[in-house]
C-alpha cells in the first residue's frame, strides 16, 4: 500500500512592461518545476503554498488569482519510504518581485521567468505542463484586474 503525502505550491506569473506574461520556473537540478512543498502540521493548502513560495524564492507579495486551485496526483518510489502517492494542490498568483530580489533556496540551482510557450517547453513533467496550461487559460479568461485583492482571497477548485 502506498503512503500518501500532500504538498502545495504556486504557479507564479509576472506581467512585464513589454505586455508579456512570464511564468516563474525553478531548476531543481534534474528537472524544472514550480515552487511547492509539504504541508506542515496545522497548515491549510494556501498557507503551505505561500510559505513554500517564500522559502524557495523569497517572494512575499504574491496575489492569488481567485477561482484557481488545481490538484495533481502521481506516484513515485522513495528509497526509504517505498511507494508514495503524492497529491499537490497548485494555486495561481501574480508577483511584482523583480529578478534581483529572487533568492532561490538550497533545493534549486536557478530560476527563470519565461513566456508561456517557453515555460511549457522548460517544465519537465507532463502533469506540471498541464497545470501551466490551465493557469494560462484561466488568465486569458480573466480581465486584467482579475487577480485577488490580498493573500486572504477566497480560492475555489477549478
Instruction: Flag whether 96 is in a domain.
Output: yes
Pairing of strands 82-94, 3-15: parallel
Instruction: Flag whether 75 is in a domain.
Output: yes
Full domain range(s) for residue 71: 3-141
Distance CA 58, CA 31 (A): 20
158: exposed, middle or buried (Cβ count in 10 Å: 0-12, 13-18, 19+): middle
The model's pLDDT over 3-12, given as tens digits with 9 standing for 90+, comes to: 999 999 999 9
- CATH number for the domain spanning 21: value is 3.90.79.10
pLDDT in the model for residue 17 = 86
Instruction: Flag whether 135 is in a domain.
Output: yes
Instruction: Flag whether 124 is in a domain.
Output: yes
pLDDT in the model for residue 83 = 95
Q: Is 0.95 surpassed by the pTM of this model?
A: no
Please list the pLDDT of the chain residue by residue as tens digits (158 residues): 889 999 999 999 999 888 899 999 999 999 999 999 999 999 999 999 999 999 999 999 999 999 999 999 999 899 999 999 999 999 999 999 999 999 999 999 999 999 999 999 999 999 999 999 999 999 999 765 444 433 333 333 33
Instruction: Flag whether 147 is in a domain.
Output: no
Q: How many domains does the chain have?
A: 1
Instruction: Flag whether 154 is in a domain.
Output: no
- The DSSP code sequence of 100-140 is GG----TT-SEEEEEEHHHHHHH--SHHHHHHHHHHHHHHH
Instruction: Flag whether 146 is in a domain.
Output: no
Name beta bridge partners: 11: 92
Instruction: Flag whether 68 is in a domain.
Output: yes
Contact 12, 21 (CB under 8 A): no
Amino acid at each position: 500500500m502506498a503512503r500518501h503525502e500532500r504538498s502545495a505550491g504556486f504557479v507564479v506569473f509576472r506581467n512585464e512592461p513589454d505586455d508579456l506574461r512570464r511564468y516563474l520556473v525553478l531548476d531543481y537540478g534534474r528537472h524544472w518545476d514550480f515552487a511547492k512543498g509539504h504541508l506542515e502540521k496545522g497548515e491549510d493548502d494556501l498557507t503551505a503554498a505561500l510559505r513554500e513560495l517564500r522559502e524557495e524564492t523569497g517572494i512575499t507579495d504574491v496575489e492569488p488569482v481567485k477561482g484557481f486551485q488545481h490538484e495533481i496526483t502521481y506516484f513515485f518510489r522513495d528509497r526509504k519510504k517505498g511507494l508514495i502517492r503524492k497529491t499537490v494542490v497548485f494555486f495561481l498568483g501574480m508577483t511584482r518581485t523583480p529578478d534581483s530580489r529572487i533568492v532561490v533556496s538550497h533545493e534549486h540551482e536557478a530560476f527563470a521567468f519565461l513566456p508561456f510557450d517557453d515555460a511549457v517547453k522548460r517544465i519537465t513533467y507532463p502533469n506540471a505542463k498541464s497545470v501551466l496550461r490551465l493557469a494560462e487559460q484561466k488568465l486569458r479568461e480573466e480581465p486584467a484586474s482579475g487577480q485577488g485583492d490580498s493573500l486572504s482571497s477566497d480560492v475555489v477548485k477549478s
